[in-house]
Amino acid sequence: MSPEALNSLLSLAIGFAFAGALASGYQTFARRPAGFGLLNEGVAPRAFAAVPFLVFAAPFIIMRNTLIGAKVERRRFEFVMMATIIAGFWSLMSGTFFVMTLRAAGLLA
């Protein structure tokens, strides 16, 4: 496996893990699952604060909603696959950002 492929795989895994940790932490403190409805609070500081949170927690939320929808609503395979690809790409990008931030801070070699 090439170093670039390994780096991408690591970024993907870190992106999903970070998204899951954020969403689980939110659910622990707020006692309700995180969702995109956090943006529906109008023009309020809470809605603006939700944007950075949702940027990094979105892959987990997308996959959770997709898997629940696949079981309950019997969604088609194509829809589930497309949502998985979107969540994976989003996770890759947020994981890459997270790894680059750790490298810039000197916490990762």
Residues near 15 by Cβ (< 8 Å), separated by ≥ 6? 59, 90, 91, 92, 93, 94, 95, 96, 98
Six token digits for residue 31: 């006692």
pLDDT tens for each residue of 40-76: 766 777 777 788 888 999 999 999 988 888 778 887 8
pLDDT band at 34 (very low <50, low <70, confident <90, very high): confident
Q: What is the DSSP letter of 36?
A: G
Burial of 64 (0-12, 13-18, 19+ CB in 10 A): middle
Q: Compute the distance between CA of residue 71 and CA of residue 33 in angstroms, rounded to an integer.
A: 18
Model confidence pTM above 0.85: no
